[in-house]
Amino acid sequence: MKRLLYVIPVLVLILMLASCGNETVSIEDYEWKLRAVMKNDVDAAQDEDALVIAVGENDELYPDAKIVDVKLTAKNEKITVVDSTNDKTYSGTYKQIEKTPDGITYEMEIDGKEGFATVSPTEHYEGTDVPTLPINMGEYSVYFIPAE
């Protein structure tokens, strides 16, 4: 019996330590800033300059893309997208439909348009993981990264 009293706290400690660092990134964890807006068009994919139509900051890879200041916040299944460049605000809703160790997938509706999003870490070439939020809204895919 005494041995069992020692084993239970050790098992609880092991489970707690095993779960550390395995938290899945959620849409609510960050204020998100626009990284890029891309067309979901097979013909546009053949012409890289036509594929990316807007970026969140000057990008030497896409010098012809329009630069816009767009931020997204999400809380309690409500989304707010603020486009400071064009002085517009959009609102919508989201609902978690799948959660895996790699990320969370959401159904969403923003300003009457339906789509899907997945929040997950993306490994960059220098080896760091950066949370990303790609949203597929029919004709366009919109990519967000955490605002700094």
Q: Which of these, 96, 102, 137, 138, lies nearest to 120 by C-alpha position? A: 102
Does this model's pTM top 0.75? My answer is yes
Q: How far apart are CA 133 and CA 143, in angstroms?
A: 6
Does the pLDDT value for residue 97 go beyond 50? yes
The pLDDT of residue 15 is: 34
Q: Average of pLDDT values for 88-108?
A: 96
Tell me the CB-side half-sphere exposure of residue 85, using CA atoms within 13 A.
12
Q: Confirm if 67 and 60 have CB atoms less than 8 A apart.
A: no
The predicted-structure confidence for 16-26, as pLDDT tens digits, reads as follows: 333 344 568 99
Neighbouring C-alpha atoms within 13 Å toward the C-beta of 25 = 19
- Give the mean model confidence (pLDDT) for residues 114-130: 89
pLDDT (0 to 100) of residue 50: 72
CA 77, 78, 84, 89 dihedral sign is positive
pLDDT number for residue 55 = 94
Higher pLDDT pick, 64 / 2: 64
Write down the H helix ranges in 1-148. 2-19, 42-45, 48-51
Q: What pLDDT, on a 0 to 100 scale, did the predictor assign at position 79? A: 97
Phi-psi region of 112 (alpha: psi -120 to 50; beta: other; left: phi over 0): left
Q: Work out the average pLDDT over 2-7.
A: 40
Beta bridge partners of 34: 144
